[in-house]
Structure 1
Amino acid sequence: MNSQPSDTFEVPTVDIGPYVRGGSDDERAEVARRMDDACSRVGFVQILGHGIPEAVVDGLTTALDAFFGQPLDFKEQYRVVGANRGYSPPKSESLSLSLGVESASRMNDFFEAYNIGVEARSFPHLDLSEDDYGLNVWPEVDGFRDRVQTYFDEAARVARTLTRVFADALGQPADYFERLTDHSIDVLRMNNYALPEGTVTLDGDLTGMGEHTDFGIVTVLWADRVAGLQVLGTDGVWHDVEPLPGALLVNLGDLTARITDDHWMSTLHRVKPPIVDGRIKRRRSVAFFHDGNVDAVVSTLPEYAGPEPYEPILIRDHIKAKLAGSRHGKANTAAVREAARVLAAAGENRG
C-alpha cells in the first residue's frame, strides 16, 4: 500500500435535484451516471439539491445542543442497555470491533450519542418485534422531539430518493430497493464530540470514532464543517473530508456493497479528535442510517457477481453481528473483507 496521500483523491459532488423536484429523463440519467461513478470510485458522495430546508437543520442542531448541554447525570437517565436507542456516553462503544479489528484500547471512542428510530409498531400490518427495532425514549428537553422528528422525516425522504437513484444507476427496476426497505430499520444518531474539560485524556490512544463501515444500505450525514472525519481511500491512506456548504455527505453501507459485490464500495471511515492547543474543538454530526428490512435477504446481483461473491445474508443477522461489536465489545468475525482493508492501511496513518 502507498504511504502518501493521493493528489487525485476527492469526494464527488452530485446534485440530486432532478429526482427531488422532478427533472427530465435526461437530467435524471445524468444524475444516475454521476452517482454510479462516485459509488464505484469512492463510496462517499457530497449531495446537493436534497431539498431539506435550512430551518429544519437549524431546529435539529438546536435540539442537539439543548440535550448534550445537559449534565451527565441527566443524560444517563436515557441510556437504554442492550438497544440501539437512547443515550450512549463517552467510551461506551468501539466501532472498530464491528469489523472484528482490535483497537489499542477497547471501548475508547470518545463521542457521546443519542439514537432514535423507526419502531416495529410503526408497521401495525406486519408481525414485527421491537427486539429488532427498539422503542424510542424521548428526553424531557423543550422542543427536542418535534425538531428531531421533523429532521428524521426529511432525512428518510432523502434516503429513499437516493435508493431510487441507485436503482437507475445499477440498471435495476425503479422499485428494486423497495422490497428491501418498505419496513426498514431506520435510525438517526446524533453525535457530540465536544466534552467538558477533564472527561478525557488527550493522549495518543484517544479516538473520536473508530474505523468502521456502516451497516446497512445508505447513510445520510449532516455534519459541522469541522475537521475530524477521515475516509480510507483506495490508496490505503486516510483522507480528511468536510461537507461543502449546504451539502449532505452520503456513504454506502455494507449491504449495498454486497448487492454489487464491491463494485460499489462500503468505504471505511473514522473520526479523529480535532485537538487545538490541547483542547478538543467542538464537532457535531447527525447520521441517518437506512438499514433495510430486518427479514429481507440480501444477495449479490448476478450481473455484478465475481468469482467469489458474498454469500446471501439475512439483514437481521448482519446488523446483530455489527452491533455486538460496536456496543457490546464482541469482535465481528464475519467482516473479513473490511477488516483486511483496515489492517492493510499505512501503519502510522491508522491512528
Structure 2
Amino acid sequence: MTFNVPLVDITPYVRDGSPEDRAEVARQIDAACREVGFIQITGHGIPDEVIAGLTDAVDRFFALGLEEKKTYRTPPAINRGYSPPKSESLSLSLGVESANRMNDFFEAFNIGAGAAEYPHMAELPQPDYAPNVWPDVDGFESQVQTYFGEAARVARAMTRIFSDALGLPADFFANVTDHSLDVMRMNNYALPPGTDVKLDGDLIGMGEHTDYGIVTILWADQVAGLQVLGTDGSWNDVQPADNALLINLGDVTGRWTNEQWMSTLHRVKPPVIDGTIERRRSVAFFHDGNVDATISTLPSCVDAEHPDLYEPVTIGEHIAAKLAGSRAGKKNESAERESARVLASQRY
C-alpha cells in the first residue's frame, strides 16, 4: 500500500472563492480526513517574511546556552515556556509506557493564548489561560506573535472548511472556539551541549502520539524525521511540499466525528548521520477549543454500523489528562482506544 498525504489548495476559503470552488475544497478535505488524517495545504496566505521571522526567532532562542534556556521553564501544569531534552514523553499522553520514561530528546518553547486575549470572557481558569513567558531575545516576542496570529487565522479557516465538509452549521466551530485553548510549540530536534542524551539504542525525538485538540497547523523543515501511522500499521516518512503547511486532526475532532475522521498517530525520529543528529525544526499551532466546551459525538456520525464510541467530556478535562501524561509523566488511563492503536502498530 502506498502512503500519501493529500495536497489541497485552500485558496477559495482564504480569498472568498465561489461556492463551487469551496465545495470542491471541502470534498477533498473530507476525503483526506477519513482516509489519512494528515493533509498538506497551500494557499494558506501566510507571507514568506512572516515565516522567515519565525524561523529567525526560533534559531536565535535555541542557540542560547542550555542553562540560560532553563531559566524560562515553568511547572508541568503550565503549558508555557521552555522544555529541555528528556523532560517529556509524548507516548504517556496515550497511556503507553516506554522503556525509559520522559525520554523524548527534543527541546521546545511554548506560548499560548492567555486570558487577556479574550476580554469578552469575565473569568477563565488558570493555568489553562496562563500569560506567556518571553525570553530576553531581541525581536523574539514580536516575530513569534506575528506568526501565532497568522496560524490562528489558518486554523479558523480549516474549521470553517470542516463545518462544510461535515454538513454542520457554518458557526458550529466558531461557537466552541471563541476562547480557544490555543498553544504554539516551537520544537528543536538537536542535542544541545551539556545534555546527557546518548546516541545509542532506539533514540526517540518525539514519541508516538496523537494531537489533543481540534486541528494542528504545522510548519516544518524539509528534513526527514516525521513519521505517520498508516491504516496498515506501518510508519511512513512525511516531509512537507514546497510552501506547504501540514495539517492534522486532533482527538477532539476524532471524538466529535466518532472516529470517522482520523486523529492520526505520528512521531519524530530524526536520522543520525555520522554520529550526529541532523537538526530539524518544527512549529506546531494547536487549536484546541474552549476549555468548557463539551465534546459529544455528532448525531450524524452515529448509526447502526457506527455505534457511539465515546462518553461526553469537556475539552478541558480531555486536555488535562493528555498533558498530565506528556509533561508530568502520569500515564493517561482514559486513552484506551489510542493506546491500543500504538500497541497494534508495527512500532519500529
| Alignment counterpart, residue 66 of structure 1, candidates 49, 60, 67 | 60
Residue 331 (str. 1) matches residue 326 (str. 2): no
Provide the C-alpha distance between the structure 2 equivalents of 1:270 and 1:106, rounded to a whole number of angstroms. 16
Q: SS state of the match for residue 297, structure 2? A: coil
Provide the C-alpha distance between the structure 2 equivalents of 1:323 and 1:208, rounded to a whole number of angstroms. 18
Provide the C-alpha distance between the structure 1 equivalents of 2:281 and 2:78, rounded to a whole number of angstroms. 22
Partners of 2:297 and 2:308 within 8 A in 1: no
| Alignment counterpart, residue 164 of structure 1, candidates 160, 167, 173 | 160
Question: Aligned residue pairs: how many?
Answer: 342
| Alignment counterpart, residue 228 of structure 2, candidates 231, 237, 255 | 231
Distance 1:301 1:308, change over 3 A: closer
Residue 120 (str. 1) matches residue 115 (str. 2): yes
1:3 matched residue in structure 2:
none
Alignment RMSD: 1.0
Q: SS state of the match for residue 285, structure 1? A: strand
Residue 105 (str. 1) matches residue 100 (str. 2): yes
Q: SS state of the match for residue 51, structure 1? A: coil
Partners of 1:184 and 1:293 within 8 A in 2: yes
Residue 36 (str. 1) matches residue 27 (str. 2): no
Q: SS state of the match for residue 327, structure 2? A: helix
Partners of 2:66 and 2:194 within 8 A in 1: no
Q: SS state of the match for residue 109, structure 1? A: coil
Q: Deviations over 1:134-156 (max 9, x none)?
A: 22010000010000000000000
Q: Deviations over 1:37-87 (max 9, x none)?
A: 000000000000000000000000000000000001110110011310000
Provide the C-alpha distance between the structure 2 equivalents of 1:141 and 1:323, rounded to a whole number of angstroms. 27
Please report how far the alpha carbon of residue 121 of structure 1 lies from its aligned counterpart in structure 2 after TM superposition.
2.3
Q: Give runs of ≥4 in structure 1 deviating > 4 Å.
A: none
1:320 matched residue in structure 2:
320
134-143 or 307-316, larger mean C-alpha shift:
307-316
Residue 183 (str. 1) matches residue 173 (str. 2): no
Please report how far the alpha carbon of residue 9 of structure 1 lies from its aligned counterpart in structure 2 after TM superposition.
1.1
Partners of 1:119 and 1:130 within 8 A in 2: no
Please report how far the alpha carbon of residue 129 of structure 1 lies from its aligned counterpart in structure 2 after TM superposition.
2.1
Partners of 1:90 and 1:109 within 8 A in 2: yes
1:94 matched residue in structure 2:
89
Please report how far the alpha carbon of residue 209 of structure 1 lies from its aligned counterpart in structure 2 after TM superposition.
0.1
1:252 matched residue in structure 2:
249
Residue 136 (str. 1) matches residue 149 (str. 2): no
Identity, % of aligned positions: 68
Unaligned runs of 5+ in 1: 1-5
Residue 212 (str. 1) matches residue 212 (str. 2): no
Partners of 2:110 and 2:184 within 8 A in 1: yes
Please report how far the alpha carbon of residue 277 of structure 1 lies from its aligned counterpart in structure 2 after TM superposition.
1.4
**Amino acid paired to 2:80:** R
Unaligned runs of 5+ in 2: none
| Alignment counterpart, residue 275 of structure 2, candidates 273, 278, 281 | 278
**Amino acid paired to 1:144:** F
Please report how far the alpha carbon of residue 194 of structure 1 lies from its aligned counterpart in structure 2 after TM superposition.
1.5
Provide the C-alpha distance between the structure 2 equivalents of 1:225 and 1:92, rounded to a whole number of angstroms. 26
Provide the C-alpha distance between the structure 1 equivalents of 2:194 and 2:204, rounded to a whole number of angstroms. 16
**Amino acid paired to 1:130:** Q
Please report how far the alpha carbon of residue 218 of structure 1 lies from its aligned counterpart in structure 2 after TM superposition.
0.1
1:23 matched residue in structure 2:
17
| Alignment counterpart, residue 296 of structure 1, candidates 293, 296, 318 | 293
**Amino acid paired to 2:333:** T
Please report how far the alpha carbon of residue 303 of structure 1 lies from its aligned counterpart in structure 2 after TM superposition.
1.1
Provide the C-alpha distance between the structure 1 equivalents of 2:135 and 2:78, rounded to a whole number of angstroms. 16
Please report how far the alpha carbon of residue 198 of structure 1 lies from its aligned counterpart in structure 2 after TM superposition.
6.2
2:141 matched residue in structure 1:
145
Q: Deviations over 1:197-235 (max 9, x none)?
A: 563201123200000000000000000000000000001
Partners of 2:66 and 2:192 within 8 A in 1: no
Normalising by structure 1, report the TM-score: 0.96
Q: Deviations over 1:15-54 (max 9, x none)?
A: 1000001111000000000000000000000000000000
Q: SS state of the match for residue 328, structure 1? A: coil
| Alignment counterpart, residue 7 of structure 2, candidates 7, 13, 19 | 13
Q: Deviations over 1:262-285 (max 9, x none)?
A: 000000000002111111001000
2:49 matched residue in structure 1:
55
2:261 matched residue in structure 1:
264
Q: SS state of the match for residue 102, structure 2? A: coil
56-65 or 124-133, larger mean C-alpha shift:
124-133
Provide the C-alpha distance between the structure 1 equivalents of 2:117 and 2:145, rounded to a whole number of angstroms. 14
